[in-house]
Amino acid sequence: MIYIRTRDEIELIRKSALMVSATLTEVAKLLKPGITTKSIDTMAETFIRDNGGVPSFKGYHGFPATLCISVNNVVVHGFPSDYVLKDGDVVSVDCGFYKNGYHGDSAYTFAIGNVAPEVLQLLKVTKESVYRGVAQACENNRVGDISYAVEQFTHGEHGYGVVRELVGHGVGRSLHEDPQVPNFGRRGDGKKLKEGMVLAIEPMINLGTRDVETLSDGWSVVTRDGKVSAHFEHTTAVRKRRGEPLSSFAPIEEAERANPELNSSQYGEQIPMIKELVIQ
């Protein structure tokens, strides 16, 4: 079932989504070589609970952690562990926050230290593709218009692999709701969008091919060719003229730029262009 949310419901989802952004901002402050992904997860759970929320992911279908922390060739659903982060790692962090009956869901990919230019370009393109998808989340468009915008930019223009086995989704009272929002597809296909729908738009884009496989833990999805993957996600409200991100990357970016251990050079002059995409 696809839900059309009231203004009040959307504001509650926004509050949860912005708390996801706040949690990812704390992650951005903490990331550096020499710390374990488990320690990041512990901090995030404490932060969420201290702010009156519940981690959306912990216990979801048996998932054991607050965050999905996916390093390098892990696309999504990586387990926090005793793995020690090192210079050159690419770290995708996906987080959910539940409060007042509604979930927020967002993800961001970080580059630690000296990361290859082609990998930084992957992050830049994947991040921009989120906003290209958001711009299509408007009344009377269809899900396929979002899907096409992401695929055309990431694969059509840049030749990256677009993961097909995992997709975006509706989000609200449940963490995953209808409709599914693939990152590949054709204009005009899929469910018609109506103002008040809330979607998690989340491109998962590989430096190499689109092929992935799931590890024996039953959760961690990795690229089959071993190349790096990137993942960015916004909780997004469908509006009449354009989608509206309910989560925000702005505080994460600020913390990222302030952390000398993180490489934020992939953003460059992209931000004005992103704003232009969203207001069209």
The per-residue pLDDT of the chain, averaged, comes to 95
Where does the pLDDT of residue 264 fall: very low under 50, low under 70, confident under 90, or very high at 90 and above? Answer: confident
- 219 Cβ partners below 8 Å, 6+ apart? 63, 77, 78, 79
* In the predicted structure, residue 11 carries a pLDDT above the cut 50: yes
CATH number, domain of 114, equals 3.90.230.10
Residue 276 has pLDDT above 70, yes or no: no
Q: What radius of gyration do the chain's Cα atoms show?
A: 17
- pLDDT at residue 85, rounded to an integer: 98
For residue 42, being part of any structural domain is answered with yes
Q: In which domain, by residue range, is 250 found? A: 7-279
Whole-number Å distance between alpha carbons of 203 and 222: 15
Query: What dihedral do alpha carbons 270, 179, 54, 129 form, nearest 10°?
Result: -10
- For residue 279, name the pLDDT band (cuts at 50, 70, 90): very low
Banded pLDDT at 23 (limits 50, 70, 90): very high
Longest dimension (CA), the chain: 49
Is residue 161 a contact partner of residue 126, using CB atoms and an 8 Å limit? no
Report pLDDT for 266: 54
Residue 46 lies in a domain: yes
Residue 54 structure tokens: 């519940």
Cα–Cα distance, 59 to 63 (Å, whole number): 5
CA-nearest of 179, 188, 186, 195 to 141 is 188
The mean per-residue pLDDT over the stretch 19-45 comes to 98
Task: Decide if pLDDT at 272 tops 70.
Answer: no
Reported as a single tens digit per residue, the pLDDT across 164-178 is 999 999 999 999 999
Full-model pTM: 0.95
Q: How many domains does the chain have?
A: 1
**Tokens for 195?**
């103002």
The predicted model gives 202-218 an average pLDDT of 97
Q: What is the pLDDT of residue 274?
A: 52
> In this model, does residue 273 exceed pLDDT 80?
no
End-to-end CA distance of the chain: 30
Asked if residue 2 is part of any domain, the answer here is no
The string of pLDDT tens digits covering residues 46-87 is 999 999 999 999 999 999 999 999 999 999 999 999 999 999
Where b means 16+ CB within 10 Å and e means fewer, 137-149 reads: bbeebbbbbbbbb
Band (33; pLDDT cuts 50, 70, 90): very high
Task: Please tell me the least confidently modeled range out of 37-41, 104-108, 262-266.
Answer: 262-266
Please tell me the number of Cα atoms within 13 Å of 168 on its side-chain side: 34
In a domain, 114, yes or no: yes
**What distance in Å separates the CA atoms of residue 263 and residue 123, rounded to the nearest whole number?**
11
- Asked whether residue 1 is domain-assigned, the answer is no
Please report whether residue 41 resides in a domain.
Answer: yes
